[in-house]
Amino acid sequence: MLPGMVLWGVWLGGPTGTAYIVTAAHKTKLTLTFTAISAAYSFGYIFSPALGGYLAGTNGMRTVFYAAFTLYALAGFILTFISSQHAIGYTQNSSGESYSFFTLLRTRKLLTLSIFFASMMFILMLFRPFVPKFLADIYHYNYFERGILGSVSFFGSAVLGILLGKLGDKWKKVYALAASMILCCVSLALLVSFGSFPILVMTFFITGGSYVTWSLMSAIIGPQAPESIRARWVSIPQTVSMFSSVIAPYIGGVLYEASPYYPFVIGIGITLFLALLAFTRQFEG
């Protein structure tokens, strides 16, 4: 599976998508635009985890992978129809040393953003891969039941994402980000405290609020980037965050082996801290 997962993780569209949206979207509805696109992604997930769990239980995982391949190929084909866009003020000199990765990273604002969002992605990926396993090991839910809860979480992401987007545009983007972290903290506390399926349905709906973190991060970083190198600018905190995401699941696995509760308890404390930090620090330009 390793080569397939490496190719799955080659995310060329991340920084370019952020730069495209920042330029094309109405400035007073920028946060809502990002979270609405995230909500559209989540709507596709509402039924797919339950369906995937059902297919895996009845026909095996290979059928799920074939179906996923077909849908990913269709998504890539549809995206070829979006209109082209070119950065204003871009020149061939933009690829010079003055705009290199490490030169830009030494910019204080960009370095602060990179560290903050890398910390956020690290803690999210510390526990998130182990949620299905926790449901199976501790509460003994099967594939289909875990798929239902996954569907609920993405429904919550679609609904709460729109609300957080409106909050970010009306007040501050960092407030929406802090609210997302608080929702994550509350959902983790409920997850480790209650195994009842009705309570878990509510828990996973709240969990959906943390799924728009990347969109909120893009909404905060994107407008601060110079237009001529916007895609390259936003790629730096995204790249640093991805590196932290690579390390986090391994550490989470070590913690999970020590106790299944450890990744989630640590997640509760750090997500609350990050929410408070977002409230008190002004990351927006």
pLDDT value at position 267? 96
Question: At CA 225, angle to CA 228 and CA 30, rounded to 5?
Answer: 110
> Locate tokens 């299944």: which residue?
260
Task: Specify whether the CB–CB gap between 31 and 213 falls below 8 A.
Answer: no
Count CA atoms within 13 Å of residue 17 on its CB side.
15
Rounded CA-CA distance 130/118 in Å is 19
Please report the pLDDT score of residue 240 as a whole number.
84
CB-CB contact of 161 with 265 (8 Å): no
Assigned token pair, 18? 């952020």
Is the separation of the CB atoms in 137 and 146 below 8 Å?
Answer: no
Class of domain 24-77+87-280: mainly alpha
DSSP string, 10-59: --THHHHHHHHHHHHS-GGGHHHHHHHHHHHHHHHHTTHHHHHHHHHHHH
pTM value is 0.76
pLDDT in the model for residue 131: 95
What residue ranges of the chain have pLDDT lower than 70?
11-14, 49-50, 87-106, 227-228, 282-285
In the prediction, which pLDDT does 53 show? Answer: 75
> How far apart, in whole angstroms, are the C-alpha atoms of residue 176 and residue 116?
15
Radius of gyration of the chain measured on its C-alpha atoms: 19
Looking at residue 24, what is its pLDDT? 76
